[in-house]
Amino acid sequence: MNLDDLKNIDLKNIDVKELVQKLKDSEYLKDKKFLTKFGIYFGSILLFLIIYYAFVNPKVKFQKERINIMLENEKQITVLGENIVKLNNRIKEIQPEYDKKSKLFHSQKEVEGLYQNISNFASSNNLNIINLNKEDAVPISGAGAGASNQGQNNDNNQNTGNNQNQNVAYFRIPVSFEITGNYLGYLKFRRALAQSNKVINFDLEKISVVKGAGINSVGTISIVGLPDEYKN
């Protein structure tokens, strides 16, 4: 049986036994060189397939997965870089306004300077300071910021109970005072404080007339400080 005989086989009416017999009688099966070459070729192909699927293919898949991960990381890094650039640009835009408004707040060092300013304003207007005492800083959340600017007296009750878990917008630092002297001098004293470059609010003020001594004013002023300056 040769190759031409195989081409002429009727596949519809094939007789398996006859086909096997013809293959046994085929001259190719009797040719040892052919069988040897065929065995070598077939074995090589089989060995290649075994090596590929057992060793090469898993490594190829692993490398593809690593490449996909690297490409995804590169995309994320690119997006992150773009976001950083946008944030830096935004910071540059708002930095001047932040610096401008930050100057209205008192640092802890500037609180000591406030005492000196109050003493100077009082002395220049012939007033006597009986008492001047800084109280504990009160954290003000973003929600309570607007109300605090109006000098409300109930900020302590409103903010001290639930500010630990809220973002602090700023701190309000109450300063209690008692001053005696001439009423006109006291008005000039208040005007001098109001013209300060820092935020100073009169939260509480009680003025009474003292015979022979002018007036006596007892009250509380408040100043504001940045959160990072007055952390608990």
Q: Which two tokens stand for residue 194?
A: 């109001």
DSSP state of 196: S
Mean pLDDT of 4-18: 55
Compute the residue count for the chain: 232
pLDDT confidence tier of residue 149, bands split at 50, 70 and 90 = very low
Q: In which band, very low, low, confident or very high, does the pLDDT at 21 lie, cut at 50, 70 and 90?
A: low
Q: State mean pLDDT over 210-221.
A: 87
pLDDT of 204 above 70: yes
Residue 10 lies in a domain: no
Question: Is residue 128 a part of any domain in this protein?
Answer: yes
For residue 48, is pLDDT > 50? Answer: yes
Find the helix packing angle between 108-124 and 183-194, rounded to 10°. Answer: 150
> Which residues, other chains included, contact 34 with Cβ-Cβ below 8 Å and sequence gap of 6+?
28
Looking at the structure of the chain, the number of domains it has is 1
How far apart CA 116 and CA 122 sit, in angstroms, is 10
Count of CB atoms situated within 10 Å of the CB of 132: 16
Q: Which residue has the higher pLDDT, 141 or 98?
A: 141
* Contact between 173 and 224 (Cβ < 8 Å): yes
Instruction: Specify if 84 maps to a domain.
Output: no
Structural domain contains residue 196: yes
- Flag whether 125 is in a domain: yes
Average pLDDT over residues 201-218: 88
Backbone angles phi, psi at 178, to 5 degrees: -145, 120
The alpha carbon of 48 is separated from its chain's Cα centroid by a whole number of angstroms, namely 54
How do beta strands 214-225 and 127-134 pair? unpaired
The answer to whether residue 114 is domain-embedded is: yes
The overall average pLDDT reported for the chain is 75
Higher pLDDT, 93 or 95: 93
Q: Residue 106 belongs to what H/E stretch?
A: none
Alpha helices in the chain (DSSP H): 3-7, 16-25, 27-30, 32-51, 57-102, 108-124, 145-148, 155-159, 183-194
Q: 140 - beta bridge partners?
A: 170
| C-beta of residue 180 within 8 angstroms of C-beta of residue 186 | no
User: Does the residue 134 lie in any domain?
Assistant: yes
> 61 Cβ partners below 8 Å, 6+ apart?
none
Say if 187 falls within a structural domain: yes
Q: 200 lies in which domain range?
A: 108-229
Its pTM stands at 0.49
Task: Return d(Cα 174, Cα 153) in angstroms, integer.
Answer: 10
pLDDT at 18: 66
Tokens linked to 39: 């065995």
What's residue 166's pLDDT?
Answer: 55
Which CATH number fits the domain that encloses residue 144?
3.30.70.60
Write down the pLDDT at residue 26.
62
- Characterise 151 by phi-psi region: left (phi > 0), alpha (psi -120 to 50), beta (else): left
Terminal-to-terminal C-alpha distance of the chain: 101
